[in-house]
Chain A
Amino acid sequence: MTEPGTPLVNLKNISISFGGIKAVDDVSVDLYPGEVVGLLGHNGAGKSTLIKCLSGAYKADSGEIFINGDKVIINNPRDARDQNIETIYQTLALADNLDAASNLFLGRELISPSGFLDESRMEAETRKIMARLNPNFQKFNEPVSALSGGQRQSVAIARAVYFDAKILIMDEPTAALGPQESEMVSELIKQLKKQGLGIFLIEHDIHNVMKLCDRASVMKNGLLVGTELIGDVTEDDILSMIILGKNPKAKI
């Protein structure tokens, strides 16, 4: 469902290297509203590094970022948030010593009229969103280090979803989850997509990719192998792109 018109996000010719290793090498991908684009590839292919250039965690060595057709400069996570970009990092990026509400609002705390942190409102809001995302979640007053992998993941997801993102980046959001929780994340993705968000989804499970994504961009060794409409390819096509690093549909 790649519509013509301006993409929500257009990453153009992004390159970034670490100490001589090209982690991302001249990669271009785009994303339309209401679309889920899967980013696939082996470990170390450069997927996380690529999306970190969009989320403001890294600054690309070269390349351009367009949001709704306008060129933007993203120097830090704050700039990304200002563009309504929210990110669920592979590492979750939670402060383990703080509770769920503190993590959810980290960097964007609610302030009461007296100028102090509005702890109770933040907790109440956290309870609301968690009731939607993970109804079993109860540990609101404990540091997130005391939570299970799945619970931590749901805190990270809640943080990305709460702030009305237009662009959502999900780096292996189901990695720590059991089948039931994974299913809930899949449902959430469908729901957000319906609301018109654009989602970059880094995901290893090929079935989930086929089920959730509209397009898939495959990377290998920092290079973009190709981008295909999910409707046009089979699981095997995608797997061979990931493994061989060649696009089977490309004319030789």
Chain B
Amino acid sequence: MNDNPTSENQRGLIARFLKDTEIDTRLLGMIGALALIWTGFHFYGVIFNNFGAFLTPRNLWNLSVQTSSIGIMATGMVLVIVTRNIDLSVGSMIGVIAMAMGLLQVEILPQFVGIGHWSIWIMAVVVGLIFGTLIGALHGWLIAYRGIPAFIVTLGGLMVWRGMAFLSAGGRTISPVDGVFALLGGGPYGAIGAMGSWAVGVAACLGVAYTIYAGRKARIKHNFYLRPMWAEALLAIVGWLTIIGAVLLVNSYPWPKGIVRQYGTRIGQDLEGTFISHGFAIPVLILVAVGILMTILVTRTRFGRYVFAIGGNPEAAALAGINTKWVTMKVFALMGMLTAVAAVIASARLNSATNALGTLDELYVIAAAVIGGTSLAGGVGKIYGAILGALVMQSLQSGMVLIGFDSAIQRIVVGVVLVLAVYLDILYNKRVK
């Protein structure tokens, strides 16, 4: 390893860098795309509106909250698409699950435990999660055990659950939701503040260090190829800087004056002019937790392995003794549960449940998964890719809102970007082969 770097050409250097650090080129591509979108919108604002509104703590914080519910569902959609299926019903499921939770906490539970009881939000969330899981399991059963194509089952679901959402309260909007429940949607109170964010940041930094350390130890134990020390250090430092940067960012977005005053009155202090940080929003923390759990599920458990085996070759999976139907049903049940988590966040953020909640979400969720590298041919997909994909979609969306594109143009752009992203991916895969 003592060749002279200057004697290598540029491409050889980059290739070696990627090999040594084992960084996925797709990850780099998505980060590059994000950087392009973010700076593009920002400087568009600087040039045409005399104000760059995109790269501000306020906008990026809101972006993180807006990404949560699509991002959470996208992690489930990865598994659905990896098994060569599709779920068109998630948007409608959001509607019906949110209505169920809304009715429960606003109209039903208060009759039994009293208005404002501490247990209301817990019961609502638990029932919502169970409801979502059952809907998903029903879809999965029809698909796996009754042989109806996923496209049809979930297209039916798209209509049925939206209809149910309307019928459940005769089209009424249910609000306001329980106070604690509302925190799950973000907002100034639904964020963990400066100290909490530093605590999360430190824990995350330790997590990064441990992951790298444990990985290296396992490789040493089995005498596998080791990343060079500089690559391990670089990965750790990049990870830490990203985490610290995120903490600094969310902590530099202060509560609005009105909220500070309101909070001051509530705790009986004069806080006029105090800088109170938002910190990480709770829905973002939920997204991160879901992302980590789903990554572990996919890469470290039998279930995840089987999901990918089924996607790669269903026949081979069955011949290896895998119960492919049961795995498929579980994938849809999981999709339903994650949709319920997204429904909690979406209705909490809106502070109400409406029967139209989640409309068109299925398209954004599928687009996020696909942009994130999930192959519709099955067998290929990454959880972090889907979350980044959701961030790309949401960045486009909110960037266009910021610079004042109307919704017709937004849809055109998002549609074009989706097709383009998949096309680039196809070109890239051809070149790799």
Contacts and interface: CB of A to CB of B under 8 A. Distances in A.
Nearest to A143: B312
A188 interface: no
Given A121-B222, A123-B222, A96 B313 contact: yes
A contact residues, range: 20 to 34
Interface stretch (A31-39, A59-67, A73-81, A215-223): A73-81
B6 to A, nearest CB: 30
Contacts of B224: 120, 123-124
A77 B323 CA distance: 10
Given A81-B321, A109-B305, A96 B312 contact: yes
B contact residues, range: 20 to 34
A97 B379 contact: yes
Contact of B305 (A78, A87, A106): A106
Given A96-B379, A97-B380, A117-B300, A89 B319 contact: yes
A18 interface: no
A93 B300 CA distance: 23
A93 B222 contact: no
Contacts of A119: 218, 300
> How would you classify the secondary structure of chain B's contact residues: helix, strand, loop or mixed?
helix
A93 B319 contact: yes
A81 B319 CA distance: 10
A95 B218 contact: no
Contacts of A107: 317, 320-322
A93 B321 contact: no
Nearest to A106: B320
B46 interface: no
Interface string A79-111: 001000001010111111110001000111101
Given A77-B321, A116-B300, A93 B315 contact: yes
Interface in B289-312: 296, 299-302, 305, 308-309, 311-312
Counting from the closest, the 8 A-B pairs by CB-CB distance are: A97-B312, A95-B312, A107-B320, A97-B379, A78-B321, A93-B316, A116-B300, A106-B320
Contacts of B317: 95, 106-107
Interface string B356-380: 0000000000000000000000011
A52 to B, nearest CB: 9
Contacts of B302: 109, 111, 117
A92 B380 CA distance: 20
Contacts of B219: 120
A116 B379 CA distance: 21
Interface string A2-25: 000000000000000000000000
